Structure 1
Amino acid sequence: MAKTTETGLPKGFRGAEQGWPELRRIPHPPRRVPLLGDVLGVDRRHPVQDSTRMGRELGPVFRRRAFGKEFVFVWGARQVADLADESRFAKHVGLGVANLRPVAGDGLFTAYNHEPNWQLAHDVLAPGFSREAMEGYHGMMLSVADRLTGHWDRELAAGRPVDVPGDMTKLTLETIARTGFGHDFGSFERERPHPFVTAMVGTLTHAQRRNSVPAPLAPLLLRGPSRRDAADIAYLNRTVDALVAARLDDGGGRGGDGGGGDLLDRMLATAHPVTGERLSPENVRKQVITFLVAGHETTSGALSFALHYLSRHPDIAARARAEVDSVWGDTPEPGYEQVARLRHVRRVLDEALRLWPTAPGYAREAVVDTELAGGHPMRRGAWALVLLPLLHRDPEVWGPDAERFDPDRFEPGAVRSRPAHTFKPFGTGARACIGRQFALHEATLVLGLLLRRYDLVPDPAYRLRVTERLTLMPEGLRLRLERRTARGDGVGGAGPTAGSCDSRTRSV
């Protein structure tokens, strides 16, 4: 594979036009101007939604130019299926993802394909997402959900609506911190977001902002934001270094080569099963940051969108709630297997991810000279960005009502009838999200617990607004709660569950 620069592009690669011999055949927005390209009229705060609007007009393969750089977007089902061919295409680290390398380096999400630490970390950490490991995380997920429902009970008693995105961020951050690293950020005991969250949002926002500024002018135009970004990265590094140091002080890496322990144990003490290599201290830091950021940011968005749609579709919420009551009964703490039996609740989650995939795109680059389906030649190193909000709303795949929220689209028969590679919220191929099953189990569990405990009452005046910081999240979403009186007394009312904190869970 071609070696890459820090921008994620192959060395010597000056623009997408170099890798797309017939670029002129690909449509672009009207009113293109010299030097600036297509930036007139662009919504720089919402580039994904802006590109989605433009893609509807231009078709399944289109291009946009900004400050001399050409970007090719793909959302047609045939083209996306072709890009999934691992013999011809691989993950491309570019755009905002490459902008995260100052903080995440060669972590699993931001590593280039040729960097050895990706394969090393993947092979070392994959057992941490096995069925056996997931069962071990389940009790801690319940414990964190207990803290969420305790907080929501207090908000309900005070007559206040709940801040859905804010509380889902607290929940998912605490879940990955507890299960993966034995750490407690104390998010639900804070009035303001934990500084780790503030720093994380700062780095994500800065990474996206860099996409809208010409590279030669970035040092001048982003001088102040770049200083803040450096301070945010320094804080993230210090937080993770302290977390790792605490584990080492406790005799960390207890799982060792036996394969036990949590994710941090595996990072610190597990050798590669074939080569015997171990992750370096520097790479451990990058991996921990990757998991803390990616392991909670997208899941919190998925839960937030799902709760929004459940509040707006009481018939769907009632059906999901009836399933929870039937499957879980009166058990106060559902078991691991009982979560997988919430098939309709899982379909609610999938449908929310269809309409608003919280990681809204992924890039693929050609590893050989090839032709993309539909007759677009691509030289080795050329790349395209898959635009998921349009792929997931393609009326040729999802029908004329593709904009409508309908979890029955994920009934087994409906799924089998659709072409492959038309639902990709976790990416594709070897570089797809390693924590997919973790996120789906956590989110399904939480939706089940909340549906069993509360009726969700929307604000009639609220209209869904989506904020972008590389990931997507509902903006300003608040819901009022009504406590259910039947079968609503599961996890949540009495504070942390007995035995929920082990000796290695540390608070800050």
Structure 2
Amino acid sequence: MATTTGAVPTKGPRGAASAWPELHRIPHPPHRLPWLGDLLGVSRNNPLQDNIRFGRRLGPIFRRKGFGKEFVFVGGASLAADLADEARFAKHVGLGIANLRPVAGDALFTAYNHEPNWQLAHDVLAPGFSREAMAAYHPMMLAVAERLTAHWDHAVAAGRSVDVPGDMTKLTLETIARTGFGHDFGSFERTRPHPFVSAMVGTLTYALLLDTVPSRLLLRRAARRNEADIAHLNRTVDDLVRARRGASGNGDLLDRMLETAHPETGERLSPQNVRRQVITFLIAGHETTSGALSFALHYLSRHPDVAARARAEVDRVWGDSVVPAYDQVARLRYVRRVLDETLRLWPTAPAFAREAREDTVLAGDHPMRRGAWALVLTPMVHRDPSVWGADADRFVPDRFDARAVRARAPHTYKPFGTGARACIGRQFALHEAVLVLGLLLRRYELVPDPGYRLRVTERLTLMPDGLRLRLERRTSTASPTAATAPPALEEPSSAPRCPVHGTGD
């Protein structure tokens, strides 16, 4: 099998020279150096964006070498679609994901395919994301959103701009904590990030850093900080679980973890695995959604025509409802398109790895031995001109109207991964994000800082860096017929430029 560190093995499972028998046919950057390989000038803080830049020059499949290890990257839509074939390929846990195993172990996101706890946890927890469960979470999502709008109303009254990524992180952490585990972190009452968030960011950043240095000996100080961060995450979750044991819950995710047996085997999650699952859900359940909301608010502020159309839809669909009902959220179809287009341009979980179950040939052209793997760069797949057109770098929500979606080939849009190991909480994240965008559009006009240029922070996930918006409270809502506003126009030439592609963001 391929190594878990992310490198192409020097010996394949049958003694071949490589798990990619024709590796030489896959292009790599010029001016490769001994030992350093292709790492000269590479950013340690933004490796994904560096890889996307290389991919733009080298093509839909390419390789890079560093510290004696070779990595294969895929950014072409047709290649990624072939890797989505579950009969031939499976999830590969490598690179930064494997580096999270000291904290998450064999939880849903980081389990190896052969580890039994993945299937056990998936079967036990999947009902926690059913329609009935989602409807039960809806009032709690609304309650947390009210805390956000109260916080933003104070900023409006004081004439201050708002820290969008910081506040979206508070919102999504409180949402998953309350709905999944009955816990309140008190994020909106804090002037600084909750220590759990600081520890989480530390572990994600360290996991990314491990893949950019030749030896962990060079990271001894960072390793000690990472150990302290992991210890804090463990203590926080242990306290949360301890408080729940013996208490009556409400059937949330934590209750399922503690009380529910597998419907066929009767097996239950072990205490250690419960801890790992809770940490995974608290991190994954808020980190990617906060990024998606932050990017979406950035685009809405930069495209007032799109914001007006989305806002008109909210006014029409929700009408005079003070509190939108659960079923009313799914009716915000244009708001959902805004979110989908945001996740196309900046999927906040920006890559996933796939390994060959048996010897095969990728897209009929690249032989792979069992265990060989490649990292799919989702932002590249989502901007492949062969699928998305010559304007693939532009923000155009109507790419996701029903006819356009039906006309596209399958497996060309993958913000939640692919296959059996795709994100279990997808519907939770989508409902929460559409609900929040609807509430914010109904309440505020979003005014961008004209001097801001989109910068993207990487910590395994993606987040806008330094994004602040000024808000104006709406004094009235549009009439129901306003939802027929004209479609989104192309962005003006003065719009900020994308940090990866050098085109409109």
The TM tier, using the shorter chain, reads over 0.9
C-alpha deviation, 1:78, in angstroms: 1.4
Quote the residue 1:30 is aligned against.
30
Quote the residue 2:468 is aligned against.
478
Residue 460 (1) aligns with residue 458 (2) = no
Quote the residue 2:154 is aligned against.
154
C-alpha deviation, 1:250, in angstroms: 1.7
- Matched AA of 2:137: Y
The counterpart of 1:248, out of the listed 235, 245, 249, is 245
CA contact (8 A) 2:10 2:19 kept: no
- For residue 241 of structure 2, give the secondary structure of its aligned residue in structure 1: helix
Quote the residue 2:503 is aligned against.
none
CA contact (8 A) 1:134 1:438 kept: yes
CA contact (8 A) 2:310 2:334 kept: yes
- Matched AA of 1:275: T
Q: Distance in 2 between matches of 1:139 and 1:406?
A: 31
Quote the residue 1:494 is aligned against.
none
CA contact (8 A) 2:8 2:71 kept: no
- Matched AA of 2:467: L
Residue 232 (1) aligns with residue 222 (2) = no
Q: Report the count of equivalent residues.
A: 476
Quote the residue 1:503 is aligned against.
none
C-alpha deviation, 1:149, in angstroms: 0.2
CA contact (8 A) 2:180 2:253 kept: yes
Q: Deviations over 1:230-259 (max 9, x none)?
A: 0000000000000000001424xx57xxxx
- For residue 377 of structure 1, give the secondary structure of its aligned residue in structure 2: strand
Ranges in structure 2 where 5+ consecutive residues have no aligned partner: 479-505
Residue 323 (1) aligns with residue 320 (2) = no
Quote the residue 1:340 is aligned against.
330
Q: Distance in 1 between matches of 2:146 and 2:336?
A: 20
The counterpart of 1:361, out of the listed 345, 351, 357, is 351
- Matched AA of 2:216: A
Quote the residue 2:431 is aligned against.
441
Q: Distance in 2 between matches of 1:10 and 1:20?
A: 8
The 10-residue stretch of structure 1 (413-422 or 438-447) with the greater mean CA deviation from structure 2: 413-422
C-alpha deviation, 1:7, in angstroms: 3.4
- For residue 222 of structure 1, give the secondary structure of its aligned residue in structure 2: helix
Quote the residue 2:377 is aligned against.
387
Q: Distance in 2 between matches of 1:368 and 1:266?
A: 36
Decide whether aligned partners of structure 1 residues 99 and 270 sit closer, same or farther in structure 2, where only a CA change above 3 A counts: same
- Matched AA of 1:464: L
- For residue 19 of structure 1, give the secondary structure of its aligned residue in structure 2: coil
- Matched AA of 2:117: N
Instruction: State the 4+ residue runs in structure 1 displaced beyond 4 angstroms.
Output: 8-17
Decide whether aligned partners of structure 1 residues 398 and 12 sit closer, same or farther in structure 2, where only a CA change above 3 A counts: closer
Quote the residue 1:132 is aligned against.
132
Q: Distance in 2 between matches of 1:17 and 1:340?
A: 52
- The residue correspondences of 1:74-473 to structure 2 (distance < 5 A) are 74-214=74-214, 217-219=215-217, 221-251=218-248, 261-473=251-463
C-alpha deviation, 1:45, in angstroms: 1.1
Q: Distance in 1 between matches of 2:3 and 2:175?
A: 35
C-alpha deviation, 1:18, in angstroms: 1.9
Aligned-pair Cα RMSD in Å: 1.6
Q: Deviations over 1:261-304 (max 9, x none)?
A: 00000000100001110000000000000000000000000000
The counterpart of 2:5, out of the listed 4, 7, 23, is 7
Q: Deviations over 1:101-129 (max 9, x none)?
A: 00110010000000000000000000000
- Matched AA of 1:411: D
Q: Distance in 1 between matches of 2:66 and 2:87?
A: 31
The 10-residue stretch of structure 1 (339-348 or 76-85) with the greater mean CA deviation from structure 2: 76-85
- For residue 183 of structure 1, give the secondary structure of its aligned residue in structure 2: coil
Q: Deviations over 1:212-240 (max 9, x none)?
A: 011xx212x10000000000000000000
Q: Deviations over 1:398-455 (max 9, x none)?
A: 0000011000000011111111111000000000000000000000000000000000
CA contact (8 A) 1:74 1:386 kept: yes
Q: TM-score, normalised by structure 2?
A: 0.92
CA contact (8 A) 1:329 1:487 kept: no
CA contact (8 A) 1:339 1:445 kept: yes
Quote the residue 1:20 is aligned against.
20
Q: TM-score, normalised by structure 1?
A: 0.92
Quote the residue 1:64 is aligned against.
64
The 10-residue stretch of structure 1 (35-44 or 95-104) with the greater mean CA deviation from structure 2: 35-44
- Matched AA of 1:229: N
Quote the residue 1:495 is aligned against.
none
Decide whether aligned partners of structure 1 residues 413 and 18 sit closer, same or farther in structure 2, where only a CA change above 3 A counts: same
- Matched AA of 1:218: R
CA contact (8 A) 2:4 2:95 kept: no
CA contact (8 A) 1:17 1:23 kept: no
Q: Distance in 2 between matches of 1:292 and 1:428?
A: 21
- Matched AA of 1:223: R
Decide whether aligned partners of structure 1 residues 465 and 17 sit closer, same or farther in structure 2, where only a CA change above 3 A counts: farther
C-alpha deviation, 1:17, in angstroms: 6.8
C-alpha deviation, 1:487, in angstroms: 3.8
